[in-house]
Amino acid sequence: MPPKPTDHRAQPAIPRKWLALAFVVTAQLMVVLDATIVNVAMPAAQVDLHFADHDRQWIITAYALAFGSLLLLGGRLVDLFGQKHAFIVGLAGFALASALGGFASSFGLLVTARAGQGAFGALLAPATLSLISTAFTDSRERAKAFGVFGAVAASGGAIGLFMGGVLTEYLSWRWCLFVNLVFALPVLAGTAVLLPRTARSARPRIDVPGVITVTSGLVAIVYGFARAESRGWNDTITVGSLFAGVALVALFVFVERRSQHPLLPLHVILDRDRGGSMLALGLLSFGLFGLFLFLTYYLQTTLGFSALATGLAFVPFPLSIIVGANLISGPLLPRYGPRVLIVIGAVVAAAGMLILQALAVDGSYLAVVMPALVVTGVGVGLVFTASVSTGTLGVDPSDAGVVSAMVNMAQQVGGSIGTALLSSVYGSAVQQRLRDGSGASGDPDAAAVHGYHVTFAVSATCLLVVALAGLIVRRVRDRVTPTAEHSEVLVTAH
């Protein structure tokens, strides 16, 4: 019998892949929570480093700019140089940037460190998701793995707020950055052993025109939305940045259609199932932003919660996401498919957001806020797991990294747009109530609560649109159901 042809792309299967999953999702948690962990710590950092109020946003924006604009490049580097190498480099760089930020003696150094975190996060995040998507293809194992990933990724913002409150209260704001070393060092050691080495058989090629156009375009868009939050929508630079960003992204699409080695193969996002999943993730991030930001304002400024109490108040949210992503979505996804779970999850999440219409100046956390967090969290867990699993399913191994980058970029862009638009909605609603109100309705606290009502109503509407995006997805059930002997998926050489 002639020997079977050798698949030169195949590598040894990931050993003890469930243990490897634990390390990989820990790295993802580190990236996600860093988008919010410094929020609670910012007042303390401002006192220590002596920067002005109008400079505070750049501690957040620097991370978002670097992370969002470099994700596609990071995804392609994962495909070109291999998942393990990209993961380790991204994780080590993120840890070093975090250490730099923790030791920062000036505002400029802190912003530089945050940008460095975002840049290395743009390499680490797609490597993380790519490793999971190629390691689990058995439908039931995949549902469980993405249930774990979904719970971590979707609840990371709330966990960041909690950790930021605890670390700032009992240690220092600097530990909101140093804590990443606690995550990174054991993950580096574990993944170095558990993940197999990947070999390159061809010299990588980078689509330079694509990198320049999409990176510049995304920087302009994210910067424009960030500037709009503080300078308004009529600001010349804001409008110019947004128009330039859209034009550059359009040019990027034109470039990719003609490139022999595209940064983003267009067939990847033109798939109906994948496109619907990406749209659902982007809209979900848009709607969720209001929950984190404005509930933080409400708890601290209206109800008088401390930073620590505010962080603790968000704990039911990640716990509910775990229930939705693992106990509900995990068993149901292989049986009923993503469309049903996305639609139902979005409606449940919107219902949770509408509970917040009962917020009051003298309101109750236990009667209103906690039930809203629980209901919204369960719905988010359903949507996130189904969307991410479907968005990365059936991808050619050579495109696994870039697809993983698209998943992260959908969330980042959705969150950035949500930051600007919902902040504008809130500010306009408050000012309108103060101008029109008299007596109690003209009270600043009452006006703020009115602003929260309007903002959360817009968020709930956006979450209902997520349900419409779920209807785009055609896949009714998971079509990939390999036999048990193939449940250990081979890691491809990139």
pLDDT digit string, tens, across residues 4-28: 443 434 444 455 777 778 888 888 8
Tell me how many domains the chain contains. Answer: 2
Statement to judge: residues 321 and 175 lie in one domain: yes
Statement to judge: residues 408 and 341 lie in one domain: yes
Q: How far apart are CA 468 and CA 415, in angstroms?
A: 19
Q: How far apart are CA 319 and CA 337, in angstroms?
A: 23
| Backbone φ and ψ of 193, nearest 5° | -90, -40
370 Cβ neighbours under 8 A, 6+ residues apart: 313, 316
| DSSP structure string for 53-70 | GGGTHHHHHHHHHHHHHH
**159 to 89, 317, 375: CA distances (angstroms):** 25, 9, 17
* Packing angle of the helix pair 338-355, 444-472 (nearest 10 deg): 170
Helix or strand or coil: residue 361? coil
The answer to whether the CB of 342 falls within 8 A of the CB of 383 is yes
Domain membership of residue 230 as a residue range: 208-264
Q: How far apart are CA 321 and CA 416, in angstroms?
A: 22
- The residue type found at 424 is S
Q: How far apart are CA 401 and CA 138, in angstroms?
A: 20
Looking at 216, 239, 264, which one is the last position of a domain? 264
pLDDT tens for 331-363 read 777 777 788 888 999 999 999 999 999 998 888
Closest CA to 104 of 167, 50, 31: 50
Statement to judge: residues 257 and 328 lie in one domain: no
Statement to judge: residues 100 and 161 lie in one domain: yes
Q: Is residue 8 part of a domain?
A: no
pLDDT score recorded for residue 492: 26
The answer to whether the CB of 366 falls within 8 A of the CB of 330 is no
Statement to judge: residues 316 and 272 lie in one domain: yes
pLDDT score recorded for residue 453: 92
pLDDT score recorded for residue 460: 93
**463 to 87, 380, 479: CA distances (angstroms):** 32, 9, 27
**326 to 24, 146, 315, 467: CA distances (angstroms):** 17, 8, 17, 20
Residue spans of the chain under pLDDT 70: 1-15, 53-54, 56-57, 137-139, 154-155, 195-204, 229-230, 394-401, 437-442, 475-494
CATH assignment of the domain containing 108: 1.20.1250.20
DSSP conformation class of 251: H
Statement to judge: residues 54 and 104 lie in one domain: yes
pLDDT score recorded for residue 456: 93
Looking at 219, 249, 264, which one is the last position of a domain? 264
Statement to judge: residues 245 and 367 lie in one domain: no
182 Cβ neighbours under 8 A, 6+ residues apart: none
pLDDT score recorded for residue 8: 36
The answer to whether the CB of 330 falls within 8 A of the CB of 143 is yes
52 Cβ neighbours under 8 A, 6+ residues apart: none
Statement to judge: residues 253 and 273 lie in one domain: no
Q: How far apart are CA 485 and CA 261, in angstroms?
A: 34
For the chain, give the number of residues.
494
E strands within 240-295?
A: none
pTM tops 0.85: no
Statement to judge: residues 318 and 218 lie in one domain: no
Looking at 264, 285, 300, which one is the last position of a domain? 264
pLDDT score recorded for residue 85: 83
Q: Is residue 489 part of a domain?
A: no
Q: Rounded to an integer, what is the distance from CA 68 to the centroid of its chain?
A: 10
pLDDT score recorded for residue 203: 53
Q: How far apart are CA 312 and CA 373, in angstroms?
A: 12
